[in-house]
Amino acid sequence: MMQSPPSYQIEVDFEDDRLDRLRLLLYLTLMLSSMFYGTSLLEVEGGVWLWPGVFVVALSLLSLIRRNLTLSAWVFTVTMMAVPIYFLATGLLDVQATLLILLPVIAASLVLDRDAVMWTGIVTLILSVAVAIFRFGLTQTWQMLPLPILICIFLIAAIYWMQQSLLDLVHWSTDLQQKDTRRAEMFFAQKEQLEDALLQLKFANDKLARLNDDLDAAQHVAENASRAKSVFLSNMSHELRTPLNVIIGYTSSMLNMPQMFDNRRLPAAYRPYIQLVEESGHYLLGLINDVLDLSKIEAGKLELHCSPMALPDLMRGVLTTSIALLKDKKLSLLPDFPDDIPFVWGDAMRVRQILLNLMSNAVKFTETGSITLSARVEGAHVHIAVSDTGIGMPESVLESIFNRFQQASSDTDRRYGGTGLGLDISRRLVDMHGGELHVESVVNQGSVFSFTLPLATEEQTRDLFGPALEDANITIFDEG
């Protein structure tokens, strides 16, 4: 950081200038007074009075040599003041020579400041008038000094005003220069700060670029690992479903189709065990299907086959299927949707999967009360909701339940079972339809899961039956 230079003092320059002028004036005065002194001893009576003048000039020079500017200047000025007073007192001045009273004012203006010039002029005028009145009388003094006095007053005022104006101008210029200097220092400091900021920004950009490269590399590794995992899960799911389907098929045949075994029914003691095998097989098959769907979604291979669908019919089918989930529970499945809902645009199989997942969760976590499947039209969308009167959930876990393998609590997992994949898959399927799965829940009061589906547009419903039926001719036969 640049350091500010010491403040500029104009008075120092003025003193140096006065010192140079005073030195020149003293040498010039000494030379002239010496010449005048030599002639005055021969021609002028009373020339012995000039000795003090020579002494004063010598004293002034001595003070100047010792660098006492103030004393030297005042000695010189007083000497110049004494000259016209001396000539007035001795009667050597005529009317024209009275202008010598201006001499001390001029001398003071060269070697003293403006205040000293003013006081020198005032004292010179007072002494000159007093000596003149004493020497010549009031009448003759009035005839001799009016013009010199007026000129002296004007000169004092002019010198005072000029020095003041010069001082103001110098102060203004100095202040302007100091402002420019401070401004330059500020700009220089800002430039240094900007350069430092640019260096820091460059360093941060380089570091950010390296971090981005590392992040891209890590992301590629993670994506490759995720794809490999999804491919592995998909392959494993296919490999597991084949033997599971065989197990489920044979157990179902053993329970429900005795004709395949020469009409010999399964002994009653074996039926509970075979039913348990069948139920476990269905459970494992559902889990494998969930894993397969999730792996397809993550791999980007799950495609929706959207078309206009009759939502009331689909929802009634979901309710019918959900009855089998109740088993021995005393629950009421309540439909709450009109039959005149317009066609909805979506993948019917995936929408059915979403609703069955939500209904299955509602049945699982509801012991008594009811489960309601509702739908209503809201603008260009249909709002679908599954509400229950089950155990509910605290607000703190409402966001985390949509994470895979995540349930409201570990107690829920132990008591009700499940993998925690159903809600994650349902949320992803809703997202693929352009909606968002929401949940509202109160502990011991129940939960509401809801989402929206878009209504089919007129253009989409026009193609519902295909172009073959457009403008078709219908022939009516009337028998009889």
Domain CATH code at residue 438:
3.30.565.10
**Higher pLDDT residue, 465 or 453?**
453
Distances (CA, A) of 462 to 296, 342, 414: 32, 13, 51
**Higher pLDDT residue, 125 or 4?**
125
Do 312 and 451 sit in the same domain of this protein? yes
16-30, 82-96, 121-135, 143-157: least confidently modelled range: 16-30
Q: How confident is the model at residue 135 (pLDDT cuts 50, 70, 90)?
A: confident
Do 361 and 285 sit in the same domain of this protein? no
Do 282 and 315 sit in the same domain of this protein? no
**Is 158 domain-assigned?**
no
Q: How confident is the model at residue 20 (pLDDT cuts 50, 70, 90)?
A: low
**Higher pLDDT residue, 269 or 373?**
373
pLDDT greater than 70 at residue 391: yes
Distance CA 319, CA 356 (A): 9
**Is 87 domain-assigned?**
yes
What pLDDT, on the 0 to 100 scale, is given for residue 162? 73
Do 280 and 329 sit in the same domain of this protein? no
pLDDT in tens, 228-268: 776 776 676 667 777 878 888 888 888 888 878 778 888 88
Show which of 84, 115, 144 is a domain's final residue.
144
φ/ψ of 169, rounded to 5, equals -65, -45
Distance CA 99, CA 81 (A): 12
**Is 95 domain-assigned?**
yes
Q: How buried is residue 365: exposed, middle or buried, by Cβ count under 10 Å (0-12/13-18/19+)?
A: buried
**Is 248 domain-assigned?**
yes
**Higher pLDDT residue, 272 or 417?**
272
**Is 30 domain-assigned?**
yes
Distance CA 104, CA 13 (A): 23
What pLDDT, on the 0 to 100 scale, is given for residue 141? 65
Do 312 and 456 sit in the same domain of this protein? yes
What pLDDT, on the 0 to 100 scale, is given for residue 244? 79
pLDDT greater than 50 at residue 297: yes
**Is 5 domain-assigned?**
no
**Is 408 domain-assigned?**
yes
Show which of 123, 144, 165 is a domain's final residue.
144
Domain CATH code at residue 237:
1.10.287
34-38, 210-214, 225-229, 394-398: least confidently modelled range: 34-38
**Is 177 domain-assigned?**
no
Structure token digits, residue 369 = 């009360």
Helix, strand, or coil (residue 189):
helix
Domain coverage including residue 369: 307-462
Show which of 265, 287, 302 is a domain's final residue.
302
pLDDT greater than 50 at residue 21: yes
pLDDT greater than 70 at residue 324: yes
Q: How confident is the model at residue 150 (pLDDT cuts 50, 70, 90)?
A: confident
Do 101 and 116 sit in the same domain of this protein? yes
pLDDT greater than 90 at residue 383: yes
Q: How confident is the model at residue 72 (pLDDT cuts 50, 70, 90)?
A: low
- Number of folded domains that form the chain: 3
Do 104 and 77 sit in the same domain of this protein? yes
Do 241 and 287 sit in the same domain of this protein? yes
Q: What is the number of other CB atoms lying within 10 angstroms of the CB of residue 143?
A: 12
